Amino acid sequence: MNDGSPTTVPPTALIGVQLRWWEKYKFWLIAAALLVVLPHIPGLSSGYGRSLLSQMGITAVFALSFNLLLGQTGLLSFGHAVYFGLGAYAAIHLLRAVNGGLPIPIPLVPLAGAAAGLVFGIIFGSVTTKKAGTIFALITLGVVELVYAASFMLHGIFGGDEGVSANRTGGPRLLGLTFGPQIQIYYVIAFWAFVSAVLMYAFMRTPVGRLCNAVRDNPERAEFIGYNPQRVRFIVFAVAGMFAGLAGGLLAINYEIVSAESVGALRSAQVLLAAYIGGIGHFIGPIIGAAVLVWLQVNLSDYTSAWLLYFGLFFMAVVLFAPGGLAGLIMMHAPIVRTRAFWGVLASYAVALVPAAIMLVGAVLLIEMNYRLSTQPELGARMKLFWVDLDAATPWPWVTAVVLLAAGFYVFRKTWRFVAAAWTRALDEAKARFAGGTSP
Amino acid sequence: MFSNLRRLGTAGLALVGTVYAGSAMAEVKMAFVEALSGGAASAGLLSQKTVQFFVDRINAAGGLNGEKILLSSYDNKTSAQETLIALKKAIDDGNRYVFQGNGSAFAYAILDAVNKNNERNPGKEVVFLNFAAVDPPLTNEKCSFWHFRFDADVDMKMAALTEAVKGDKNVKKIYLLNQDYSFGRSVAAAAEKMLKEKRPDIQIVGNEFVPLQKVQDFSPYVAKIKASGANGVITGNWGNDMLLLIKAGKDAGYNGVWYTYYAGGLGAPPAIGEAGIGKVKQVSEWHKDVTPELDPAIAAFEKRFPGQENEYGYWRIKTMMEMFAEAAKKAKSNDPIKVAGALEGLTMSTALGPVEMRADNHQLLQPLFVSTMSNKVKHPLQGTKIGFITDRKVDAKATAVPTTCKMQRPS
Amino acid sequence: MIEVFVSSLLNGVVYGLLLFMLSSGLTLIFSMMGVLNIAHAGVFMLGAYITYQIGKYAGFWVALMLAPVLCGLIGAAIERYGLRFVPNRKSHVPEILFTFGLLYLIEELVVMIWGRNPIPATVPEALDFPLFTLFGTSYPAYKAFMMAVSIGMFVSLYVALKRTRIGLVIQAALTHPQMVAALGHNVPSVYVLVFALGSALAGLAGAIGGFTWLTAPTLAFTVGPIVFVIVIVGGLGSLAGALIASMLIGILQTFAVVVDYSLRDLFAALGVTVSASSPLYELYSIKVAQTAPVIPYLLLVLMLIVRPRGLLGTRDA
């Protein structure tokens, strides 16, 4: 199931260097600082930018919880949104009660989602985790379809397609905060996202967390040494459900409305994609994946109406060429990042990037012209692509696009040699250093 | 990456994108939030073109109080959550007017978010112009000063449809078949209530709900309808659920009358085909044979957007845009609060008769037509030989139904 | 009552047989290669569109012959030029994601070529007449034709797998993939063959199903999940199991529609009245008819809990 073990041991630990606390918690401190600063960076400081960040935070928690299953325990779930969605419903109902006068501060409302996620994780998990592998995957598919259907039938609880809405400003004031402005809600989400990331990271370091890896890699052996794999799967499933529920609770306070789509199969597929694209073999993978996926989903449609096509192509490309996900691509460079030859690697990338970009431009031109002519003929054949006016009714743009694509691809393949050579040099240097015992 | 494309794609029209880009003139920014991508986007795309068409007409006539309208489109990807993200983006981009219609679920999401936005950001109010979401609560218990509906709601349409049932003495048993969500349930409830009032002798022999867009084979439902002895079916189904239902009826040789909301929708007439002649009725604010000659605006629209997938279906968007322009003129301002105030109670005359925006719940009163599928039409639909001919017209005033709305106006 | 029973049975059988055609291809692919091909329903949809397109120029019967062939070629290409290069195939997760991306690709291609509205895929004239009328309900000839095709498909597939040499290899590979490789058969080319065959079956189902179901770009996403249900409920490696599962689901769903009773009615029959204030009142009020479309998933979950290898499965997934 997994592409590589999570990078948990920092390379410095291997050579016995005593870490100072700063070194030890560097990652978390930087992450926390980033979370504080991000919504004030120009471009992200608008209401929309902040809601984009909030959405990324929610999806990141959701994807991390999903990765407890897929990355850590090797359980592929097609129905993780069930716990996310039910958590969201629990939180929105609590928020309604708060609107009705229940004195609970808004930042604590998402905990109702976590509780619901845990409860339903225990209920459904006791059934679904009896088996692993494909059977587990398909039971979760069955469960998600059943819950989704139920959400339409039980109108009183789920509110049908229009969903259940509440008002996050209608609660007790905390330190004078109304929780109306997006920035306040962003910080609530960032806080819970940070806390749950730390907790999930810590969970993976507990004996149960370690057992998850054992169950993933070799269930028979785990059983042989006296642990019941089914029990381990059940525990991790419930925990993952709880964090998914927390993410759902964050969704509830962010959008103040929860509808049936939150428990559906599409939402479940989305989290699978986020985790996989980010890289299920690294703790940070799902976070990167969530950010990239949310950004693509929200913004790609502004640039092109063919965004679903690019979306599909992007997944296929990640599966084919970056099996470790984006985090895998980045982490691949960890061993060589401190070598001098690393600059050579970067330079070789720069060289390869040029034909790759040309190739992409050719492909995008072809897709866009095709899409325009076939789905929006009434807009005419004249269009503006890459700041150039062109007429798709004439052959020249097509010839250009094909030439760009073909030539780009041809040259791109040629550049692979440079990249490979640069890599070899960097690896040799890294090996030499390691062997020579020079501490980096 | 290709930022100009954004304007092209979203404005919907290359022409508009290049002419108005960079003009320093003040603009009225209006946002269009609908499903614009994926396999199920045809209704969203058609309404986008229609709104754009009438925006261009207003601009060509000098704009609103001397300002041009800039229409930007935002894809809601058929998701309530994405609708809210898109709306946020639209508001951030400076849009103070939002258009939406297809999908009551998304209308509820927008209405809720608009209400909250207006409450939390005084001075940056947004007005929501709804051209197709017809679930009654939107202008009843959930009514809002910031929302205007330009399509007749479920109850108004049902009132017109049951008038047709009332006149049809052959119909003794009625079967209700609707989609299992808010809209479908509203249709069933309205039908039950109004049939009891207008034709107490009619027996409702079934009240069925089918899951939204999940059923591939409607023949079991048709078998049930036949077994019940119903000689009329009332259905609010749309999209695949509409087409497959009537197709299954045709296969089983069902002879009853179909009273529908959306038999004239995109893709429906070709799928229903000759089997629907004389048997399929629909209620709508317009159909292509409503007047002997096609309205010049619609003829112009069809000329600019040829193709079956663009066949005009949104007369109410024309009414909406004209009323909006009228309200801005009357308010002598493009400020949302003032325009909204001017829209309240506004009356206007159209080619089909006078219309009025009710002040008490912001529901447009417009003439409604009950029509029957026929092959003796002047304007056949979507590449077929069939269309609709009017059975009866209900004047705007007569379509009004009581409202429970307690309108709260900004002080 | 009897008329409802008979027409429901007929409808259920036809529906079930169509489901079988749709899923038999995936049974082959999934059983043998472990690939949960999400794009299978996409190939099915392509079959419907290709039939429509060819039918426009060369008539339905030519299209019926050609569509499966073309879909088979498409399937072979997916395996040979796509799936084969997917890294970490053992875990199957990358494969699933690859086919998921592919499904989006197919949907968008269909939108580009044929547009978003449903295409008027009408029943060919030779089949467009009521075959017989029973209790006042006519039974269209094309449904009988569909039945004939799917039964014919099942029989010939069964014979081909049992009686031919390559069939025996495939069959062996369905149950003992490693052993077949060990015996020196070229497993990669068997894979391509199986994928092509499975896709051709989906194409045939599309050709037949196109005019009963609605040929629109959303078709693949609507029928997608049910295919998995049938494959699993039927059992890995068993075509007969897939047939039984399809019929079971088809008939169950059809009959469920007729049943207008809810749990509340059951309680009432037992002398217990449920008041509207009861917390689960809504749950008790759901009619069996309303649940028809989720019956397959209920069956799936129950089956996986009770008998994970499926009805006629020969091994666990």
* Domain parsing of chain A, residue ranges: 11-322, 334-436
For Cα atoms B311, B312, B315, give the angle at the middle one, nearest 5 degrees. Answer: 170
Name which of B117, B140, B137, B138 is nearest B127 in CA terms.
B117
DSSP 8-state code for residue B40: T
At residue C315, the pLDDT reads: 63
User: Which residue range is the domain that position B315 belongs to?
Assistant: 3-152+296-365
Handedness of CA B118, B120, B122, B123 (dihedral sign): negative
Give pLDDT tens digits for A26-53.
888 999 999 999 889 888 888 888 989 9
Instruction: Give the count of Cβ contacts less than 8 A between chain A and B.
Output: 128
Taking CA–CA distances from A318, the nearest residue in chain C reads C98
Nearest to B180 among C11, C110, C290 (CB): C290
Beta bridge partners of B209: B178
The rounded percent of chain C whose pLDDT value lies above 70 is: 97
Please report whether residue B409 resides in a domain.
Answer: no
Give pLDDT tens digits for C210-263.
878 888 888 888 888 888 889 889 887 788 899 999 999 999 998 988 888 888
CA distance A363 to A345: 26
Please report whether residue C297 resides in a domain.
Answer: no
At residue B5, the pLDDT reads: 40
Name which of C108, C110, C87 is nearest C98 in CA terms.
C87
Report A:227-286 residues touching B (Cβ under 8 A).
251, 255-257, 259, 261-262
SS3 B380: coil
Check: CB of residue B367 under 8 Å from CB of residue B352: yes
| C-alpha to C-alpha distances, A191 to A103, A247, A391, nearest whole angstrom | 21, 12, 51
Mean pLDDT of each 10-residue bin along chain A, 440 residues long:
45 52 82 91 86 94 96 91 96 94 91 97 91 84 90 83 86 79 92 96 91 87 86 95 97 92 89 92 93 90 84 88 89 82 86 91 88 77 78 84 92 88 86 65
Please report whether residue B407 resides in a domain.
Answer: no
CA distance C157 to C164: 10
| C-alpha to C-alpha distances, C40 to C154, C195, C225, C240, nearest whole angstrom | 18, 10, 10, 20
Q: Which residues of C touch B (CB under 8 A)?
A: 3-4, 7-8, 11-12, 14-15, 107, 110-111, 115-118, 120, 122, 130, 133, 136-138, 140, 143, 212-214, 216-218, 221-223, 253-255, 257-258, 260, 289-290, 292-294
Q: Please, where are the H alpha helices in A283-341?
A: 285-303, 307-321, 325-331
Beta bridge partners of B34: B75
Q: Please, where are the H alpha helices in A38-109?
A: 47-67, 81-99
* Residues ≥6 apart with Cβ < 8 Å to B246: B258, B263, B271, B272, B275, B276, B280
Same domain, B22 and B142: yes
Report helix angle A110-128 to A229-255, nearest 10. Answer: 150
CA distance A92 to A110: 9
Owner of token pair 């250009």: A400
Check: CB of residue A76 under 8 Å from CB of residue A1: yes
Residue A343, judged by CB atoms within 10 A of its CB (0-12, 13-18, 19+), counts as: exposed
Same domain, B191 and B332: no
A22 touches chain B (CB under 8 A): no
- The answer to whether the Cβ–Cβ distance between A323 and C87 falls below 8 Å is yes
Q: Provide the number of structural domains found in chain B.
A: 2
Task: Tell me the residue type at A363.
Answer: A
Give pLDDT tens digits for C50-104.
999 998 888 889 999 999 999 999 999 999 999 888 887 777 788 888 998 899 8
Same domain, B236 and B384: yes
Q: Looking at this predicted complex, what is its ipTM? A: 0.86
Other Cβ atoms within 10 Å of A337 Cβ, number:
13
Please report whether residue C312 resides in a domain.
Answer: no
User: Which residue range is the domain that position C124 belongs to?
Assistant: 2-223
Please report whether residue C292 resides in a domain.
Answer: no
SS3 B73: strand
Same domain, B115 and B234: no
A440 touches chain C (CB under 8 A): no
CA distance C248 to C242: 10
Owner of token pair 């799967």: A233
Taking CA–CA distances from C295, the nearest residue in chain A reads A146
* Residues ≥6 apart with Cβ < 8 Å to A383: A368, A369, A372, A389, A390, A391, A392, B5, B8, B14
At residue A19, the pLDDT reads: 60
Q: Please, where are the H alpha helices in B137-277?
A: 154-167, 182-198, 219-228, 240-251, 268-272
Please report whether residue C104 resides in a domain.
Answer: yes
DSSP 8-state code for residue B168: -
Please report whether residue C264 resides in a domain.
Answer: no
- The answer to whether the Cβ–Cβ distance between C140 and B251 falls below 8 Å is yes
Give pLDDT tens digits for C95-106.
888 998 899 899
Per-residue b or e along B375-403, where b marks 16 or more CB atoms closer than 10 Å to that residue's CB: eebebbbbebebbbbebeebebeebbbeb
CA distance A55 to B108: 20
- The answer to whether the Cβ–Cβ distance between A131 and C304 falls below 8 Å is yes
Please report whether residue C15 resides in a domain.
Answer: yes
- The answer to whether the Cβ–Cβ distance between B80 and A368 falls below 8 Å is no
Residue A52, judged by CB atoms within 10 A of its CB (0-12, 13-18, 19+), counts as: buried
User: Which residue of B48, B102, B216 is the best one to mutate when testing the C interface, meaning the one whose CB has the most C CBs within 10 A?
Assistant: B216
Same domain, B100 and B120: yes
> From first to last of its 411 residues, what are the pLDDT tens digits of chain B?
344 444 334 434 433 333 444 444 678 999 999 998 877 788 898 999 999 999 999 999 999 999 999 999 999 988 888 899 899 999 989 999 999 999 888 999 999 999 999 998 898 999 999 999 999 999 999 999 999 999 999 999 999 999 889 888 889 999 999 998 889 999 999 999 999 999 999 999 999 998 888 888 898 899 889 888 899 999 999 888 888 898 888 888 888 999 999 998 877 888 788 888 899 999 999 999 988 888 999 999 988 888 877 887 789 999 999 999 999 999 999 999 999 999 999 999 999 999 999 999 999 999 999 999 999 998 888 888 899 999 999 999 999 999 999 999 887
Check: CB of residue A327 under 8 Å from CB of residue A282: yes
Give pLDDT tens digits for C267-296.
888 888 777 777 777 778 888 888 888 889
User: Which residue of C78, C93, C286 is the best one to mutate when testing the A interface, meaning the one whose CB has the most A CBs within 10 A?
Assistant: C93
- The answer to whether the Cβ–Cβ distance between A378 and B307 falls below 8 Å is yes
Handedness of CA A424, A429, A435, A440 (dihedral sign): negative
Handedness of CA A416, A422, A425, A430 (dihedral sign): negative
SS3 C201: helix
Check: CB of residue B291 under 8 Å from CB of residue B268: no
SS3 C311: coil
Check: CB of residue B28 under 8 Å from CB of residue B334: yes
Cα atoms in the Cβ-side hemisphere of radius 13 Å centred on C227: 30
Please report whether residue C256 resides in a domain.
Answer: no
* Residues ≥6 apart with Cβ < 8 Å to A287: A60, A63, A64, A197, A278
Report residue A257 as tokens: 């409305």
| C-alpha to C-alpha distances, B54 to A215, A404, B93, C66, C261, nearest whole angstrom | 63, 40, 22, 46, 51
Name which of C204, C206, C194 is nearest C69 in CA terms.
C204
Percent of residues in chain A assigned helix, strand, coil, to nearest 5: 75, 5, 20
At residue C175, the pLDDT reads: 67
Owner of token pair 């592409």: A3
Please report whether residue C280 resides in a domain.
Answer: no
Rg (CA), chain B: 21
Instruction: Indicate the CATH number for domain A11-322.
Output: 1.10.3470
Report A:370-399 residues touching B (Cβ under 8 A).
377-380, 382-387
CA distance C101 to C72: 20
Q: What is the CATH number of the domain that holds B192?
A: 3.40.50.2300
